[in-house]
Amino acid sequence: MIFCEPAVSNKVRRLKLTLPFLFVPNPIIKPISYSPSLLSLSSLHRLRKFLTLHLRLQHSNTMSARGRASRHYHEPPPPRRPYPRGPSPPPRPHPYALQEELDILHSDLHKMALDRRAILEDRAALERDLDAGKEELHRLKLLMAQIGSEKETYIAQLVMKARRLEVDLREMRLLREELVALPGEIERVTVGRKEMAGKLESLTKDVARARAENEQMSVLTKELDGATKELMHVRSMVEEEKKANMEIEDQRDSVEKSMVSMAREIDQLRVELANTEARQWGQPGGGPYRRNHSSPDPFLPPYRGTYNVTPVVVSFAI
């Protein structure tokens, strides 16, 4: 069974709107249950044929109930033509044949409804299975996430254990190296002990010699006291000479500083004198120091200050 297209369902909907009395239940004919979404093209043609037969049968039943015949029996026959065109129309089917065909169509529609109900039940079962599968998948995802977190923590613990084992292994290697080097250290200690024993013997001899020399220390102490007194006298004289030398050094530093300051002042005076001469010869046009062309003296007169200070040239040998 194929599902009908939207165009087919639209045709059924238009047929239901134009002929609503066709879908009214008839007490003579069994009720029909169908779904437009489950109709195939062949089923649609069969339904159309069934509806046409249903219309004719209902019309004939209503006319017979009123005691009148159908309008098809009162209409005059069509006029005969001299020359018939085409085949003759098919004979009208018998009402029993129509009823049998209606029963067949009704059984087919009933089967279609049963198939539809079975399909809906299968669909509901599949949806339930799908929901159960989704729940199971969600549970499995949560379980996988939990397993992943536990795996990460377990891996982290293993990494920490491996690092601790590496540290312990390095310490064991150091201890092994120390154990390997321990016999050599013991040998060196024994050799040093022997050397210290020999030195101790020599020291005991030196102590005995020092004790013998200590008896002569009384004479040496007296000589040492005299030497210390002379040393103190010489030290006092040296300190006095140092003080005198320090005063001389201070005077010498002050004289040098004064000479340096005087030399700087002399350099400044020379620079000012050079600047003054440059200003005297630098103005070609006039001013208070312009050249007197009528004077026989080729040079300008010297500048006379107001303080009457005679320049003195002092030379120092630094």
Q: What is the pLDDT of residues 209-265, one digit of tens each?
A: 888 877 777 777 878 788 788 888 888 888 888 888 888 888 888 888 888 888 888
Residue burial 102-140, b: 16+ Cβ < 10 Å; e: rest: beebeeebeebeeebeeeeeeeeeeeeeeeeeeeeeeee
pLDDT in tens, 189-200: 888 888 888 888
Answer whether residue 51 is part of any domain.
yes
State pTM to two decimals.
0.27
In 3D space, the residue among 147, 171, 46, 148 whose CA is nearest the CA of residue 102 turns out to be: 46
Rounded CA separation 291/279 (Å): 13
Answer whether residue 207 is part of any domain.
no
pLDDT in tens, 149-201: 899 999 999 999 999 999 999 898 888 888 888 888 888 888 888 888 888 88
- Binned at pLDDT 50, 70 and 90, residue 92 comes out as low
Rounded CA separation 287/218 (Å): 100
pLDDT of residue 128: 92
Q: What is the overall mean pLDDT for the chain? A: 72
Q: How many residues are given for the chain?
A: 318
Answer whether residue 127 is part of any domain.
yes
Distance of CA 293 to the CA centre of its chain: 92
Answer whether residue 110 is part of any domain.
yes
Answer whether residue 214 is part of any domain.
no
The residue ranking higher by pLDDT, 220 or 205, is 205
Structure tokens at 246: 């320090």
Answer whether residue 156 is part of any domain.
no
As a whole number, mean pLDDT of residues 289-303 equals 46
The domain total for the chain is 1
**Residue 14 lies in domain:** 6-70+92-149
Rounded CA separation 39/5 (Å): 9
Answer whether residue 59 is part of any domain.
yes
Answer whether residue 261 is part of any domain.
no
